[in-house]
Amino acid sequence: MATYITKGAIITNPTADNVGNAQFVYCVATSATQTVIVKDVDTNTLGEIYLHVAGDSVCVEKAPSDTITLSAGKVSAVGSPRS
């Protein structure tokens, strides 16, 4: 089990959101088969993460200016106990 420190409010269904310029973002699917899309400031897709079912989650490391899109999910800025 991972431990996270919350660093912001929950954002529902983010679209091109930098999540408060967070470096680490916790993402949870609220509907089946979701894709977390990470883009840079120039809107180039840096990567995608597939979430198979509602409740699947992932912690994404990104640059502060990178954005996240998750059409049916919730995200929040987090840090580790060391950050």
Q: Which pLDDT value is given to residue 82? A: 66
Cα(35)–Cα(48) distance, rounded to whole angstroms?
6
Q: Which stretches of the chain score pLDDT less than 50?
A: none
Which residues, including other chains, have CB under 8 Å from residue 41's CB and lie 6 or more apart? 65, 66
The domain ranges of the chain are 21-78
Q: Which pLDDT value is given to residue 3? A: 84
Q: Which pLDDT value is given to residue 78? A: 96
Q: Which pLDDT value is given to residue 4? A: 87
Q: Do 21 and 79 meet the contact criterion of CB atoms below 8 Å apart?
A: no
Residue found under tokens 């995608």? 48
Query: Shortest CA distance to 46 belongs to which of 28, 32, 20, 25?
Result: 25
Q: Which pLDDT value is given to residue 83? A: 55
Which residues, including other chains, have CB under 8 Å from residue 33's CB and lie 6 or more apart? 50, 51, 52, 53
* pTM metric for this prediction: 0.92
